[in-house]
Amino acid sequence: MTKIFLPDMEATQQLGITLGETLNAGSVILLEGDLGAGKTTLVQGIGKGLGIIESIVSPTFTLINEYTEGRFPLYHLDLYRLESPEVTGLNLESYWEGIEVTPGIVAIEWAERMPYLPDSYLKICLNYTEDVHRLAEITAVKCQGI
Ligand X SMILES: Nc1ncnc2c1ncn2[C@@H]1O[C@H](COP(=O)(O)OP(=O)(O)OP(=O)(O)O)[C@@H](O)[C@H]1O
Q: Which residues bind ligand X (CB under 6 A)?
A: 6, 8-9, 11-12, 33, 35-41, 58, 109, 134
Closer residue to ligand X in complex, CB, 94/139 = 139
Q: Which is nearer to ligand X, 7 or 24 (CB)?
A: 7
Strand order in the sheet with 2-6: 2-6, 132-142, 120-129, 28-32, 105-109, 74-78, 64-67
Q: Least distance to Mg ion from the beta carbon of 58, Å?
A: 4
CB 103 within 8 A of CB 28: no
Which residue, 84 or 102, has its beta carbon nearer to ligand X? 84
Q: What are phi and psi of 10, to 5 degrees?
A: -65, -35
Report the alpha-carbon distance of residue 86 to residue 45 in Å, rounded: 28
Under DSSP, the state recorded for 34 is S
Binder of residue 83, out of Mg ion, ligand X, none (CB less than 5 to 8 A by kind): none
Task: Kindly list the residues in this chain that would bind Mg ion in the complex (CB under 5 A).
Answer: 39-40, 58, 109
Q: Tell me which of Mg ion, ligand X, none is bound by residue 12, counting a contact when its beta carbon lies within the kind-specific cut-off of 5 to 8 angstroms.
A: ligand X
Burial class (CB in 10 A: 0-12, 13-18, 19+), 77: buried
Q: Which does 65 bind (CB under 5 to 8 A by kind): ligand X, Mg ion, none?
A: none
Residue whose beta carbon is closest to Mg ion: 40
* Closest CB to ligand X among residues 133, 142: 133
